[in-house]
A and B are shown apart, each in its own frame.
Chain A
Amino acid sequence: MGPFVYMAEEHNPPLVQVRGLRFARGSRPIFDGVDLDIRRGQVTAIMGPSGTGKTTLLKLIGGQLRPSAGSISVDGQDVHRLGHRALYELRKRMGMLFQSGALLTDLNVYENVAFPLREHTDLPESMIRDLVLMKLEAVGLRGARRLMANELSGGMARRVALARAIALDPMMIMYDEPFTGQDPISMGVLVKLIRSLNDALGLTSIIVSHDVHETAAISDYIYLLSDGRVVAHGTPAELGRSSSDWAQQFMQGLPDGPVPFHYRAAPYADDLLAGREGRG
């Protein structure tokens, strides 16, 4: 726990603390002792190459998956020791933006944003309407409220999902690859939204992404993951100056380095001479 000196600020304990996290899918280890802290009010990015389990990390924080060892606490509560009811209570205070948006396809935009309000509150219809319109206004889609989920572009779907994620005024939002597959304009819109919502609503944001420039531009702190471990962490400026080969490779997008270009394989010549493809 040596590197975590900075977090000993007693007045502002981290919102999310991950300690000694281990998790495996089948026999493939995904996390092998990950420690990280998400500080309140900040935008923290978790970056790494595809397949490093970034989405899995969000699902672990949200209590949808169980780690094989280690602990994750959110706002002082150990997520994986909570009972069903307490976990659901905690989730009401967390928002999550899925890569696909995960909008309910049988409902229109308005009903999608109203969904958590209808499920968790007994507010009168007029108040629900006001809240939904406010949230949609915040993401610029008040005029699109009659559209069905399948009539939205990918960028719009993510903005609607964002409006839905903030419907219950959560304390934190987790973004799963928010920029993937976006055109430059909607990318710009999302980048701006994530930062401005974080600051305006006093949220804590976790962004999982491999879009280095967009993410670094709005993050206060970055963790780089590879092979199940945190390989580097710091503010964007610190990582940019970092002497770590790994950080340099990732931040500058170099094709070869500590993360090799080739997937693990038998020597090339042996493979070619083997003649035919054995059955694994």
Chain B
Amino acid sequence: MLDWLAQLGRHGLSFFERLGRGHLLLLALLRGVPGLLLRPLLVVQQVYAIGVLSLLIIVVSGVFVGMVLGLQLYNTLVDFGAEASLGPVIALTLVRELGPVVTALLFAGRAGSALTAEIGLMKATEQLSGMEMMAVDPVKRVLAPRFLGGFIAMPLLAAIFSLVGVYGGYFVGVGLLGVDEGSYWSQMQSMVDFDDDVMNGVIKSLVFGVVVTWIAVFEGNDAVPTSEGVSRATTRTVVHSSLAVLGLDFVLTALMFGVD
């Protein structure tokens, strides 16, 4: 019993220590961001590595999610004779919810894991230590550009996901199932509000971008510098950031759309 309590205490302590280290790192990252304005190339490289290289998976997933939405929603709406509302329903689902959330989950799997593994291996091969000894702060030179790159790339990816999703739904709904093209677009235009729907989706994707990239960078920097340590850290990045995205999505949705 006492052993069990002691173990619980140890786990609790190490959890709070990690939480503390994570927040200290976040502060250091934020402090490193202004310096990057002078060296935009570092950030551009990361936006390319994190964002552009994730485009394929985002676009393919977006098209398929949109097509599935088209099929499923059409079958439900047609019973009520409301298939003309297919456009706005698909667009709202994507822009408010699936765009930011699914993109963030894919982003965690594609870019987050890569960030953790890269930083963890740099740590394991003493590259970060070597930089420190060359008087180059690895937080500013390596971690902060990746953090900012993720922050910039994630909302763009979510926007692209929603966009191609809308076209996926269009392809199935209008192209295959015969929904009227005019009502698909015009109802979407009249029912999707820029401030309430699009901007809230953008805010969500910004928050997810910060959280996923922060977790990925922290796990890499905090990894035990061995191959096993890096592999564990990579797994933790995907698991923790996915859970954080889903949990935060509920909180944000409740704040944005819950109390009308």
A residues within 8 Å of B by Cβ? 59, 62, 64, 88-89, 91-92, 94-96, 98-100, 102-105, 115-116, 119-120, 161, 164, 168
Task: Give the size of the chain B interface in residues (CB under 8 angstroms).
Answer: 14
- Chain B residue numbers with a CB within 8 Å of A88 are 135, 137
**Can you give 18 A-B contacts (C-beta < 8 A)?**
A64-B129, A64-B133, A88-B137, A91-B135, A94-B133, A98-B126, A98-B130, A99-B126, A100-B126, A102-B125, A102-B127, A102-B129, A104-B127, A104-B131, A105-B122, A119-B135, A120-B135, A168-B134
Taking the closest CB of chain B, its distance from the CB of A150, in whole angstroms, is: 10
CA distance A103 to B134 in the complex (A): 12
Quick check: A119 and B134 within 8 Å, CB to CB?
A: yes
- Chain B residue numbers with a CB within 8 Å of A59 are 129
* CB < 8 Å neighbour of A102 from B126, B135, B141: B126
Q: Chain A contact residues: over half helix, strand or loop, or mixed?
A: mixed
- Chain A residue numbers with a CB within 8 Å of B126 are 98-100, 102
Quick check: B133 and A62 within 8 Å, CB to CB?
A: yes
B residues within 8 Å of A by Cβ? 122, 125-127, 129-137, 141
Residue among B122, B130, B134, B141 with most chain A CB within 10 A = B134
Quick check: A91 and B127 within 8 Å, CB to CB?
A: no
Assess A116 versus B136: contact at CB under 8 Å? Given A98-B130, A102-B130. yes
Taking the closest CB of chain A, its distance from the CB of B230, in whole angstroms, is: 14
Taking the closest CB of chain A, its distance from the CB of B122, in whole angstroms, is: 8
CA distance A161 to B132 in the complex (A): 14
CB-CB nearest in chain A for B45: A106
* CB < 8 Å neighbour of B134 from A89, A99, A100, A116: A116
Quick check: B132 and A91 within 8 Å, CB to CB?
A: yes
CA distance A82 to B150 in the complex (A): 33
Quick check: B125 and A91 within 8 Å, CB to CB?
A: no
* CB < 8 Å neighbour of B141 from A89, A95, A119: A119
Q: Which 8 A-B pairs have the closest CB atoms?
A: A102-B130, A91-B135, A102-B126, A96-B133, A88-B135, A92-B135, A116-B134, A98-B126
- Chain A residue numbers with a CB within 8 Å of B129 are 59, 64, 98, 102
CB-CB nearest in chain A for B118: A106
Taking the closest CB of chain B, its distance from the CB of A58, in whole angstroms, is: 9
CB-CB nearest in chain A for B121: A105
- Chain B residue numbers with a CB within 8 Å of A98 are 126, 129-130, 133
